[in-house]
Structure 1
Amino acid sequence: MTVISLRIDTQEDKLIKEYAKANNISVSALFRNSVLEKIEDEIDLGLYNQAMTEHKESPQSISFEDMLKELSD
C-alpha cells in the first residue's frame, strides 16, 4: 500500500477530522473516496462531452418505444 502525504493548515486539519468523524469514516477513507469520486466525475463529463460532440456532428434520435424494443431484444 502506498502512502501519500499533503500539507494542510491547522484549520483545514480540524475541519477535515471533524467531517470524517461526523460521517463515521477515517480521514484516509474520506480522501480516497473524494479523490476517486472527482476522477469519476471528470471521466463522466468527458464521455458526455464526447457524446454531445458526436451527436451534433451526426444527430440521430429514437423514440422511447423503439428504444424499449431495441433493449428488449
Structure 2
Amino acid sequence: MATMTIRMDDRDAELVRRFASFEGITLSDFARNAILEKIEDAHDLQELRDAMAEDDGQRFTIQEILDELG
C-alpha cells in the first residue's frame, strides 16, 4: 500500500481533521474518498461532454419509449 503526503496550512488541516472526525471516519478514509470522488466527477463530466458532442437532437416521449419496450 502506498503512502501519500498532503501539505496544507494548520487551519485547513484542523478543518479536515474535524470534518473527518464529525463524519466518523479516519483522515485517510476521508482523503481517499475525496480524491476518488474528484476523479469520478472529472470522468463523469468528460462522459457528458462526449455525449453532448454526439447528440443529434433526436428526442423521444415517455410514451414512445414505453411503446418500444412493449
TM range (shorter): 0.7 to 0.9
Alignment length (residue pairs): 70
Residues 9-50 of structure 1: CA deviation (Å, up to 9, x unaligned): 211111111111111000101111111111111111111111
Q: Alpha carbons of 1:69 and 1:2: their partners in 2 closer, same or farther (altered >3 Å)?
A: farther
Taking only aligned residues, the RMSD between alpha carbons, in angstroms, comes to: 1.5
Percent of pairs identical after alignment?
33
> Is it true that 1:22 corresponds to 2:22 in the alignment?
yes
Q: List runs of 5+ in structure 2 lacking aligned partners.
A: none
Give TM-score, length-normalised by structure 1. Answer: 0.82
Dislocated runs of 4+, deviation >4 Å? none
Q: List runs of 5+ in structure 1 lacking aligned partners.
A: none
Residue of structure 2 aligned with 1:68, choices 63, 66, 69 = 66
